[in-house]
A and B are shown apart, each in its own frame.
Chain A
Amino acid sequence: MNNIWGDMAQYDPVTWNWVIAVYLFMAGLSAGSILIGIGMRWYSKEGNKESPILKASAIIGPVAISLGLACLVFDLTKPFHFWLILVNYNFTSVMAIGVAALLAYTPLGIAYALIVLRDDLPKWKLGFLSPIGQLLLPFRQVIEVLLFILAIGVGAYTGFLISAMNAYPLLNTAILPALFLASGLSAGAAGNLIVALTCFNSSAGDDDVTKLHGLDLPVIVTEIMFLVMLFSSLYFTGGAAAESLASLSQDIWASVFWYGVVGIGFAIPILSMFLPSSTRHTKAMMITVACCSLTGVLALRHFIIYAGQSYIS
């Protein structure tokens, strides 16, 4: 429609796009992978062996966060001024707190990867990095604990980042950081499983792999619970918050939610548990289900980013 007051393009409430959704996914994947890798090491009986799962998380952790941060930097309107965010901090901003956390998390993740992969690096022609891994080995305990704590922070921070915007009722909820942390764990478990099975010759019958596989159901149930809490709190808040529930029945993002998040992300992994155990525990089946979980988490981040910004109070 023509109007006399000028261009309306800048007033589109959807400011952040898929690049940010991919970043949120990558940050969740990285944090979840690290949490599961280190967590399983702590609970495992053979603590001194580098398990395939831990090696997988040592790769996914730093790689995913680096790719995510690359997305973030190139989404800036001034990508070559990104260093300004590293020297100026406004600590009322969740983003500034996140930058501070990532500034510690990313190098620690790389350091931890060098420690865990010190014996594997020569296989990938990266042998020159092994001495650094050896050098860092005495500090393993400290790095591990710090990295674990920071990973909880990074996983939850992506939720705080967007829930801080009180104009968007679907985003401005207390449950979002918890939901993102839970779905990050789901992505991390899936990512670890895929890398362990494909790159580190883990077999489908391994004790670790079975344990990791067993995490699927509780994590999915937690996610579903958090989603129910999110939507019911919107419903009972009423007003603009209740109106944002239309995102579950209207437009493309409703399809992304029902087909992507619920169908691929929840239903397929849950239904796969009813398969005969001989089929269920094959490598191919495990990788397929893990890919479905990853797709579901990616779809959830897209749904939250787009549907969340589409309804403004």
Chain B
Amino acid sequence: MNKRYVMVHDENKCIGCQACNIACRSENNVPEGVTRLQVRVEGPFGEAPHLHYKYNRVSCQQCENAPCVEVCPTGAAYIGDDGLVTIDDDKCIGCMYCIAACPYKVRFINPVTKAADKCNFCKDTRLARGEQPACVTACPTDALYFGDANDSESEVTNLINTKVTYQEKTHLGTKPRIYRIPTKRGGIES
């Protein structure tokens, strides 16, 4: 059966420390000034003393219906055998159509390669060695889960089946593969 790699971000466990952000930068040699992954701390929401923040992971959503792949004129943005949205640097000419078309605005021009760049779940490095993506491993509170959602035994399948989750901008029909467990106000119960 095909792999369906997904990531789950538990916003209850996340503390916005950016360890994932730094781990990603180091693992993927992301140049300064651009980012594949940020966790934005948004808020506070609510009224004092019942305030809460939202930890918003901003990175490639690995859409199953990826607008960037659809619009790429040369096929530099493609979906690999593993189902992951990936970029072939050598085919990219830098027209920026994908960057404009991405509803999540998570694509950017890498100032070194001059090609479009974004998160690919560490596909060429850690995933190829059978390891988890750098952000997942680095997270100090274990707020990130990664795995194959087509494997009924996997932790991510279990989480998606048992927790309330949401995905961003599903109304655009992109089928994003980043699932988020929303913050429960007033403390952590998991």
A residues with a Cβ closer than 8 A to B are 3-7, 9-11, 13, 15-16, 75-78, 81-82, 84-85, 88-90, 92-96, 99, 164-167, 309, 312-313
Identify the 10 closest CB pairs spanning chains A and B, nearest first: A77-B94, A167-B103, A95-B73, A15-B100, A88-B74, A5-B38, A10-B108, A96-B73, A90-B75, A77-B114
Question: Interface majority SS on A: helix, strand, loop or mixed?
Answer: loop
Q: Which of B40, B94, B105 contacts A312 (CB 8 A)?
A: B105
Least Cβ–Cβ distance between A205 and chain B, in angstroms: 47
- The chain A residue sitting closest to B99, CB to CB, is A15
| Residues on the B chain within 8 Å of A82, using CB | 93
Q: A99: which B residues are within 8 A, CB to CB? A: 73
- Interface presence of B21 (CB below 8 A): yes
Which chain B residue shows the least CB distance to A13?
B105
Chain B's closest residue to A168 (CB) is B100
| Number of B residues with CB within 8 Å of any CB on chain A | 41
Is B41's CB under 8 angstroms from A167's CB?
no
- Docked complex Cα distance between A11 and B60 (Å): 12
B-chain residues with CB within 8 Å of residue A7 when the two chains form the complex: 33-35
Contacts of B67 on A, CB cut-off 8 Å? 165-167
Check A313–B172 contact: CB distance below 8 A: yes
Q: By the criterion CB–CB under 8 Å, are A93 and B73 in contact?
A: yes
Contacting pair A93 B72 (CB below 8 A): yes
| B70 within 8 A of partner (CB) | yes
- For B97, list chain A residues within 8 Å (CB): 93, 95
B70–A92 touching, CB < 8 Å: yes
Q: Mask for B29-41, Cβ within 8 A of A = 1, else 0?
A: 0000111001111
